[in-house]
Amino acid sequence: EVQLVESGGGLVQAGGSLRLSCTASGFTFDDYVIGWFRRVPGKESEGVSCISRSDGNTYYVDSVKGRFTISSDNAKNTVYLQMNSLKPEDTAVYYCAVDANRGGRWSIDMINYWGQGTQVTVSS
């Protein structure tokens, strides 16, 4: 059974930092894309960032470029999202997600597996 377990959310003041972690287990394949979406009530989910497990290629949505960094530790099957210079508009539930088919774009319809979500709240 595939599982994605997230941690690291919380409350932080604007300008602060948080690091999210997602540990994956139960995969029977080695090559996939893993990353993060975020969701705010009343708005569409947004693909924040992802990384390819095989070649390390990364993607960032424009609104987080230069502030967020995604990385992975393949030995631990863990992906990290370092979030710096946080803004109130970054407040959301962040979900770890996996595209097992490497569909070529980071969007909800490409996702095969989801984590349970972790709340990130940035106060002004």
What local confidence, expressed as pLDDT, does residue 78 receive? Answer: 94
106 vs 97: CA distance, rounded Å: 10
Is residue 115 pLDDT above 80, yes or no?
A: yes
Query: If you average pLDDT over residues 46-53, what whole number do you get?
Result: 95
15 vs 90: CA distance, rounded Å: 11
pLDDT tens-digit series, residues 24-35? 999 877 789 999
pLDDT tens-digit series, residues 71-104? 999 899 999 999 999 999 999 999 999 998 887 8
93 three-class SS: strand
Split at pLDDT 50, 70, 90, the class of 12 is very high
Per-residue tokens: 3: 């599982």
